[in-house]
Amino acid sequence: MKHETSQRSAGSRFEMIDVGAKQVTHRVAVAQGRIQVGPEAFARIQNRTMPKGDVLAMAEVAGIQAAKKTADLLPLCHPLPLESVRVRFESDSSTHSFWAFCTAAANAKTGVEMEALAGVQGALLSIYDLTKGIEPALEISDIRLNRKQGGKHGLWVHPKSRDDEGLGHEANQAPLLQGVRAAVLTLSDRCAAGEKEDESGIVIQKHLQQNGALVEHYRIVPDSESVLSEAVVQWAEQAVELIISTGGTGLGPRDVTTQTLRKLANREVSGLGEILRSASAAFTRKAWLSDASAFILRNSLILCLPGSPKAVGECLGIVGDLIPHALHVIRGGDHGK
């Protein structure tokens, strides 16, 4: 994953990254940490007989407060309008430990990882403060970010994290595209000829897989109206529910994707094209030159994205949460769901 950097002004030693042009998306982060408290304190915390009161209840409040104060603690961290902070605990009698998990969420231009980590730290420090009179040999450890989601990079999971670690009730929620039959089509003369690596198609594949879709087909083809038509018709006949193409949405003489599908499809979902251009314009005014759009062929939703991997990531972040409802309606489902 590439990390964004910012050029500092001359003479400046620090600079808070400018996120003004980034897209507002739903961001979620989950962090964890643990504290070992020894056998006596472990039993008394569970029995709520500690001198200062209910340790875990106070630590839950402290964790939430710490998450809300993150920007005050970290000078270069953006102040975020947090919409949800949850702190919960798990006990481990084998090590006389308590695990703290903090989940932070916001609709924002940058992630909430630091808020989740601050929440864990605040909760663990509160336990430390309320326990040190009973057991001074306390140890805080295993603090890490378990997962984060949102923005153009989508979902990231720590290699050591369990699938359900720290998610609470979110562990029972299915991924956005759980079980959706999908296909990826890259239209590029150079990629088809082996002269260039298909980065955009890989971005789409990863996004689909991270959100639970079943990627049944992946093809790289030249910018050809006949080849494009053959591929999407074949997949639509096979009941592939979601087809995402990349490339061929520009103004060049070989850019034929959108024009071809306008002639071939049953209908155009013009609203998705409009939001792609409007929201992408926050990144670059050249977005208004894109003919990105979406179409319905039989019962398949076809999403046509630009050929740049960066643009593909941004576009998936813009419309990703709309795709499940679109598929639901195409299947004949209720508009209000």
Domain total of the chain: 2
pLDDT of residue 13: 82
**Axis-axis angle for helices 39-47, 113-131 (nearest 10):** 100
Q: What distance lies between CA 58 and its chain's CA centroid?
A: 31
Place of tokens 């039959």: 181
Domain boundary among the residues 134, 150, 172 is at: 172
Q: How confident is the model at residue 15 (pLDDT cuts 50, 70, 90)?
A: confident
Q: Residues 56, 190: one domain?
A: no
Amino acid at position 254, single letter: R
**Axis-axis angle for helices 257-264, 225-237 (nearest 10):** 50
Q: Residues 206, 303: one domain?
A: yes
Q: Return the active site residues.
A: 129
Residue 219 sits in which domain range? 181-330
Domain boundary among the residues 172, 189, 219 is at: 172
pLDDT of residue 163: 54
pLDDT of residue 208: 93
pTM higher than the cut 0.75: no
Nearest to 216 by CA among 193, 182, 239: 182
Q: Of 219 and 157, which is predicted with more confidence?
A: 219
Residue 281 near residue 287 (C-beta atoms within 8 A): yes
Domain boundary among the residues 150, 172, 194 is at: 172
Instruction: Name the strands in the sheet holding 181-187, side by side, starting at the edge strand that comes first in the sequence.
Output: 214-221, 181-187, 242-246, 300-305, 293-297, 267-268
Q: Residues 164, 279: one domain?
A: no
Q: Residues 167, 186: one domain?
A: no
Task: Quick: pLDDT tens for 306-337.
Answer: 999 988 988 988 898 899 999 999 999 887 65
Q: Residues 166, 186: one domain?
A: no
* Residue 91, φ and ψ in degrees, nearest 5: -100, 150
User: In the numeric block, which tokens belong to residue 73?
Assistant: 């603690």
Residue 81 near residue 75 (C-beta atoms within 8 A): no
Residue 198 near residue 206 (C-beta atoms within 8 A): no
Q: Residues 185, 163: one domain?
A: no
What does each C-alpha distance from 2 to 8, 110, 114, 128 come to in angstroms? 19, 15, 18, 37
Q: Residues 208, 158: one domain?
A: no
Residue 20 in any domain: the answer is: no
CA angle, corner 88, sides to 83 and 94, nearest 5?
160
Average pLDDT over every residue of 263-283: 91
Residue 335 in any domain: the answer is: no
Residue 18 in any domain: the answer is: no
**What does the DSSP assignment read for 64-117?**
HHHHHTHHHHSTTSPP----EEEEEEEEETTTTEEEEEEEEEEEESS--HHHHH
pLDDT of residue 174: 66
Residue 9 in any domain: the answer is: no
Q: Residues 116, 145: one domain?
A: yes
Average pLDDT over every residue of 134-154: 89
Residue 185: pLDDT over 80: yes
Q: Residues 68, 145: one domain?
A: yes
Cβ-Cβ contacts under 8 Å for 223 (sequence gap 6 or more): 187, 188, 189, 247, 248, 254, 255, 256, 257
pLDDT of residue 226: 96
Q: How confident is the model at residue 169 (pLDDT cuts 50, 70, 90)?
A: very low
pLDDT of residue 200: 95
Q: Residues 248, 108: one domain?
A: no
**What does the DSSP assignment read for 199-232?**
HHHHHHHHHHHHTT-EEEEEEEE-S-HHHHHHHH
Region at 193 (left for phi over 0; alpha for psi -120 to 50; beta for the rest): alpha
Residue 124 near residue 59 (C-beta atoms within 8 A): yes
